[in-house]
Structure 1
Amino acid sequence: MAESGYGSETESDDPDVLVLRKGTHGIPIERYADALRERLPERTIRLARTPSEEREAIRTAEFVTGMVLEDDLLESAENLAVFACAYAGTGHLPLDRLEKRGVTVTNASGVHGPNIGEHVLGAILWSTRRFHVAARRQRRREWRHYQAYELKGSTVTVVGLGAIGRAVCTRLEPFDVETIGVRYSPEKGGPTDEVIGFEDGPFHEALARTDYLVLACPLTETTRGLVDREALMTIDPDATIVNIARGPVIDTDALVDALRSNWIRSAALDVTDPEPLPEDHSLWNFENVQITPHNAGHTPEYYERLADIVAENASRFDEDGLDGDLKNQVLP
């Protein structure tokens, strides 16, 4: 990386870190650039605020960070060595092309742990204490008691034991619940009382004793349609499903049928299939369905946590180039 002065930044600089212009969660991307500058005061952090600035700056940049990397921008990236994706997921990136060019790719895994963990816990308690029933009676000004549940003693199955799944498990610990983790390599264990794989037998056996099913897994060929009609018929009929993974992990038509037939108690969906959910979709009409607009990932601390990861990797790259490992490395 090029040596530079403290925070100086001109168009002629070859930046140590180039920040692309797209932000997320409605938070100005300038805050991300500023967070990186705070952590890397001796490096040049350049924020490209227009398409033309991006195309010009990326020609010589070696270390680039951003939410997306469009094909035409990649064409201009003559010296790109590291792309630090500002999302945890990287499926939207041209990974094949990046791999062919030998570009190292990292992601933002771990950034979402606290906020999504809290979102999941809130969704579980929303169902347990039936706050949706309370809200309906409040709107009607009805002072009328209703039955609720206790989380204590329940069984919570968490599909996906990455940073988010682990954060969910940590936040469940004080509630005295049994936990089952589902992951690709169950032999690695995890922060749950029991860990199983994705095979139909063990998974369906777990569903049969699950009170709360938390989907916190990536969307893969294995997880696409994981919660299908068979799964929804197998799960405990008093169960709640919380999906903060991706919409297609659940078969939407089967979910609608399950809700209509009372196969499950409720569902809390931060993601849907299709997404955005059309205005006329039947899922909007269920009072025992909580829908949030892919909002679990929002946190005012997003750029601060992201900058911790990216600044550390920028320092490692500055010291060792591509000879050393980078945190959250996806490619190669």
Structure 2
Amino acid sequence: MSDADVPDVLVLRKGTHGTPIEQYADALRDRLPDHSVELARTPAEEREAIRTARFTTGMTLEDDLLDVAENIDVFACAYAGTGHLPLDSLEKRGIAVTNASGVHGPNIGEHVIGAILQFTRRFHVGARRQRRREWRHYKAYELHGSTVTIVGLGAIGTAVCKRLEPFGVETIGVRYTPEKGGPTDEVVGFEGDAFDDALARTDYLVLACPLTEMTRGLIDADAFVTMDPETVLVNVARGPVVDTDALVDALRSSWIRGASLDVTDPEPLPESHPLWTFENVQITPHNAGHTPKYYDRLADIVAENVRRFDDGDVDDLENQVLP
């Protein structure tokens, strides 16, 4: 392939959320009219095009594909998480890596608010009685004056906090470096008495943190015992942040009021799993991230980084993860 044939941006073939990857390539072309954007639609096209491409973007980058990428300088990951990438290999080769942080803020923020309001006004109880054609009143709650604890104050946690502002709630944020503060009324760390105290005061616990050694199993049996029995858990992070067995025990023992789970451990949740059977558990199939605007928001970030790359600012890219 001659230099004239090398695309300015190479888009790999894997899409997400059931939306054709062609929409992502088209969104990049709209934002970069003076650049060539190539979509590699087959494995053979990927292997051929990535040999010379300098700026590549996609959901995944497998080792075997990376091995044939001779000139790659930047990989723009189309997911917010990058744990699935061969980061050691990318770092060893000095390849800059960016992610899609911020793309999910509005849609996941709305998902969390919807889950909280469902349990506050107990719409699931109303829906059950409607199916039975049963006109019978039931008790509800009020969100105003509640305490919402948000674990993880990245783009998603910040979006949740912003959308809670009109509801008159107290917010507690949990982050690795609480001294940095945040958009919540109070900020604590992941460990120690302050975190336990936050759990004890929480009405709605929102998990929006990455899965790390520290957060794996963070919400365990001890955490459920510490929570008030009226607490509702909302998990839009990763399934293993919650100890699933402990969650089942907590629901069976009425240690918490309910749970909204967009992620589970294991995932997908087996048909025989007891979590399906609880009337006070809302399960969505890792769907909070779905939005028709995903590729547009992603293209905004990646197109800006293409411009910075053109200007030689390879060490000052938006959402840069490596180096």
Q: What per-residue deviation string (whole Å, max 9, x for no partner) do you get for residues 178-229 of structure 1?
A: 0000000001100000000011311110000100000000000000000000
Aligned letter for 1:70? E
Work out whether 1:119 is the aligned partner of 2:115. no
Distance (whole Å) between structure 2 residues aligned to residue 215 and residue 157 of structure 1: 8
Secondary structure of 2:113's counterpart equals helix
- The answer for the alignment partner of 1:130 in structure 2 is 122
Tell me the equivalent position of 2:322: 331
Distance 2:103 2:246 in 1: 32
- Alignment map for 1:250-269 (pairs within 5 Å): 250-269=242-261
1:145-200 C-alpha deviation (Å, 9 max, x unpaired): 00000000000000000000000000000000000000000011000000000113
Question: In the aligned structure 1, how far is the partner of 2:170 from the partner of 2:139?
Answer: 23
Cα distance in 2, alignment partners of residues 248 and 138 from structure 1: 35
Does 1:174 pair with 2:174? no
Query: In 1, distance between residues paired with 2:128 and 2:89?
Result: 52
Q: Does 1:307 align with 2:306?
A: no
Task: Please report how far the alpha carbon of residue 27 of structure 1 lies from its aligned counterpart in structure 2 after TM superposition.
Answer: 0.5
1:40-79 deviations in Å (ceiling 9; x for gaps): 0000000000000000000000000000001110111011
Structure 1: distance between partners of 2:192 and 2:205: 16
- The 2-side partners of 1:65 and 1:44 are apart by 13
Residue 221 of structure 2 corresponds to which residue in structure 1? 229
Secondary structure of 2:145's aligned partner: coil
Question: 1:181-330 maps to which residues of 2 (within 5 A)?
Answer: 181-320=173-312, 322=314, 324-330=315-321
Alignment map for 1:80-159 (pairs within 5 Å): 80-159=72-151
Deviations 1:10-38 (A, max 9, x none): xx720000000000001100000000000
1:45 corresponds to 2:46: no
1:88 partner SS: coil
Code of the residue aligned with 1:221 in structure 2: it is E
Identify the residue that residue 161 of structure 1 maps to in structure 2: 153
> Which residue of structure 2 lines up, in the alignment, with residue 6 of structure 1?
none
Structure 1 CA distance for aligned equivalents of residues 178 and 252 of structure 2: 34
Q: Which amino acid aligns with 1:325?
A: D
Question: In structure 1, how many angstroms separate the alpha carbons of the residues matched to 2:199 and 2:155?
Answer: 22
Q: State the alpha-carbon separation in 1 of the partners of residues 158 and 202 from structure 2.
A: 18
Residue 71 of structure 2 aligns with which residue? Answer: 79
Q: 1:321 and 1:173, CA in 2 relative to 1: closer, same or farther beyond 3 A?
A: closer
**Paired-residue identity, %:** 79
> Under a length normalisation based on structure 2, what TM-score does the superposition of the two structures give?
0.98
- Say which SS state the counterpart of residue 156 (structure 2) adopts: helix
The Cα of 1:321 is off from its aligned counterpart by: 5.0
Q: Distance in 2 between matches of 1:303 and 1:199?
A: 37
Structure 2 spans left out of the alignment, 5+ residues: none
Aligned length: 322
Give the SS at the match of 1:128: helix
Distance 1:291 1:251 in 2: 16
Runs of 5+ consecutive residues of structure 1 not aligned to the other structure: 4-11
Write the distance in 1 (CA, Å) between the matches of 2:226 and 2:124: 25
Give the match's secondary structure for 2:130: helix
Cα distance in 2 between the residues matched to 1:40 and 1:13: 17
Q: Which runs of 4 or more aligned residues in structure 1 lie more than 4 Å from their structure 2 counterparts after TM superposition? A: none
The equivalent of 1:7 in structure 2 is none
Which SS does the other structure have where 1:114 is aligned?
helix
CA distance in 2, matches of 1:309, 1:121: 26
The TM-score, its normalising length taken from structure 1, stands at 0.96
For residues 88-131 of structure 1, the C-alpha deviation after alignment (integer angstroms, 9 at most, x for no partner) is: 00000000000001000000000000000000000000100011
> Secondary structure, in 3 states, of the residue corresponding to 1:208?
helix
- Tell which deviates more after alignment, 252-261 or 313-322: 313-322
Name the Cα RMSD after superposition. 1.0
